[in-house]
Amino acid sequence: MRKRSETIDTDFRSSAVQGTDDATVADVINAAVRTWVEKGYHGTSVRDLAAAAGVSVGTLYNHVGSKHDLLVLIMNRVMDGLVTRTEDVLFRAGTDPAERLRAIVGVHVEAHAARPYESMLGNTELRSLEPAALALVVSKRDAQQRMFDRVVADGVDRGSFTTTDPVNASRFVVSACTAVATWFRPGGSMSAADVVDRYQRIALDAVGYRGAVAHQEEKS
**DSSP letters spanning 78-104:** HHHHHHHHHHHHHHHS-S-HHHHHHHH
> Which string of b and e fits 107-136 if b means at least 16 CB within 10 Å?
bbbbbbbebbbbbbbbeebeebbeeebeee
Tell me: do 80 and 136 sit in the same domain.
yes
Helix (H, G, I), strand (E, B) or coil at 209: strand
Q: Is residue 15 a part of any domain in this protein?
A: no
pLDDT confidence tier of residue 187, bands split at 50, 70 and 90: confident
pLDDT in tens, 131-177: 999 999 999 999 999 999 999 999 999 999 999 999 999 999 999 99
Q: Provide the residue range defining the domain that includes 212.
A: 68-219
Q: What local confidence, expressed as pLDDT, does residue 220 receive?
A: 44
Q: How large is the average pLDDT for residues 85-98?
A: 96
Verify that 85 and 54 share a domain, yes or no: no
On whether both 48 and 141 belong to a single domain, the answer is no
User: Range with the lowest mean pLDDT among 71-75, 129-133, 158-162, 211-215?
Assistant: 211-215
Residues 36 and 134 reside in one and the same domain: no
**pLDDT at residue 212 tops 70:** no
Q: Considering only CA atoms, which of 5, 27, 3, 4 is closest in space to residue 16? A: 27
Contact status, residue 156 vs residue 163, Cβ threshold 8 Å: yes
Residue 23: strand, helix, or coil: helix
pLDDT of 6 above 80? no
Specify the pTM: 0.89
